[in-house]
Amino acid sequence: MLRAVLLALAMVPPAAVQYQAPAPGPIVDPFRAPPTPFAAGHRGVAYATTPGQPVQAAAAGVVTFAGRVAGAQIVVVAHADRLRTTYEGLASIAVPVGAVVESGQRVGSATSRLYFGVRAGSAYLDPAVVLARPRRRARLVPVGP
């Protein structure tokens, strides 16, 4: 089932996706790109969170992973624009693999620190780029006859 959903996502052209922060609160550790692919860096952002507070899907998508890695609980969501978001530092997981989630839907609950990452293929992106609101252009409107 999950494989069929992922294949279907791969066959459609990427769509525009509107992202939102997965949790309120300040970013306590910003994105730091490593100088080389295998060097040290911080490939996402970390939010200060209150233990137990809800962690929300940053955008609609399909859960491709939900489980433990090296003792940490993690959820990964694939989106229509072919980006994947990762939520790590979860006290609990609220969604199974293969679940279709809506933007803002609870994917788990936080510990005291939530890692949020964004990937395009194997490249890590600064989450601030996808979370930034598009700027609106000013439009002059004629006045009078």
CATH superfamily of 2-32+41-131: Glucose Permease (Domain IIA) (2.70.70.10)
For residue 10, what pLDDT is reported? Answer: 57
d(CA 135, CA 133): 6
Tens of pLDDT, residue by residue over 69-80, are 999 999 999 999
Tens of pLDDT, residue by residue over 12-39, are 566 789 999 999 989 999 999 988 888 9
Q: Which two tokens stand for residue 2?
A: 């999950």
Q: Helical H runs in the chain?
A: 2-11, 127-131
For residue 1, what pLDDT is reported? Answer: 58
Q: In the predicted model, is pLDDT for residue 85 greater than 80?
A: yes
Confidence of residue 9 (pLDDT cuts 50, 70, 90): low
For 81, residues 6+ apart whose C-beta sits below 8 A from its C-beta are 14, 15, 16, 17
